[in-house]
Amino acid sequence: EGVPPPEMIFDKNFVELHFNKTGVTFRFDVIGGLLGCTLRAHKRTPNASPTSEQAGNASEASGDTKSDEQFPFYSVIHPPDVVEHKLAEAWRERSERLTASGKHIAYPVFNHDWTYSSVYQGSIFHGRDQQNQLKPQPTQDRIDYELLKQKEPILWYKSVTLYESELDDAGVGHLSVKIRVMPSCFFLLLRLFMRVDHVSLRIYDTRYFHRFGSDKVLIETKTSDASFEQLGAQGHSTSARDYHEPHKFEHLLEQRQHLTEEIHL
């Protein structure tokens, strides 16, 4: 795909969960995360226009036959809306003035989301071959958050960063995995957090939950976002420095997607 890597990429970091009895494997790594930033993963087409379509047209009827190509990861996240830099309008006006004066401007063609908003939710496959992908199914079951609130000893905990970008000093794009194992279950959170300063905030959460002794893993998808304009209209801060730790403000964002699926082991 040729996605330019973010400033901080931890290519040796990954989390992999393998069930020996059934052969089901869950893997979370950098390659999948970056592939999830591509316009093909977002079902968009690269476009050289300096307008808001510069990051791609969200229409699937674009004629890009590669847009439906299978990716080696699981995702039900809706393709994100295009987010522009806060100076995009000023740059666009300058480009129009230069073009009107006869200047030739070469616009770059983007094949990825510049905010590194990945739709990646992890790879689920059988055995050790990621080509043997498994597809989660809808379920009425829900993650047992009451169980997670109980004061069980944490047998193992890990926080793993896959990549982070400062978006050319315009914000942050961060993909990470956190997992904890208790005597009764394990709980994993894959989180994409994006902030374009003075423009918008975005959080994509995928939670994996397995109660030991059960024959399934529950997968909860939740996506939310908000513009700084919306936050200001609701009386909240519009200063970027107040939006560094997602758990402190995620409740302020508007929920876009929430569903639960399951994988049988």
Tens of pLDDT, residues 185-217 = 999 999 999 999 999 999 999 999 999 999 999
CA neighbor of 214 nearest in space, from 147, 165, 153, 155:
147
pLDDT value of residue 142:
97
User: Residues 64, 138: contact at Cβ < 8 Å?
Assistant: no
210 - beta bridge partners? 186
pTM value? 0.83
Confidence band of 17 (pLDDT split at 50, 70, 90): very high
Q: Which residues of 11-33 are buried (b: 16+ CB within 10 A; e: fewer)?
A: eebbbebeeeeeebbbbbbbbbb
Distance between CA atoms of 207 and 191, rounded to whole angstroms?
Answer: 9
Backbone torsions φ then ψ of 123, nearest 5 degrees: -105, 135
Backbone torsions φ then ψ of 103, nearest 5 degrees: -75, 140
Distance between CA atoms of 213 and 106, rounded to whole angstroms?
Answer: 59
Torsion-angle region of 130 (φ positive above 0: left; ψ -120 to 50: alpha; else: beta): alpha
User: Residues 166, 242: contact at Cβ < 8 Å?
Assistant: no
User: Residues 32, 41: contact at Cβ < 8 Å?
Assistant: no
pLDDT value of residue 66:
42
Question: What digits encode the pLDDT tens for the residues 150-192?
Answer: 999 999 999 999 999 998 888 999 999 999 999 999 999 999 9
For 37-41, 90-94, 103-107, 199-203, which range has the lowest pLDDT when averaged over its residues? 90-94
What's the mean per-residue pLDDT of the chain?
83
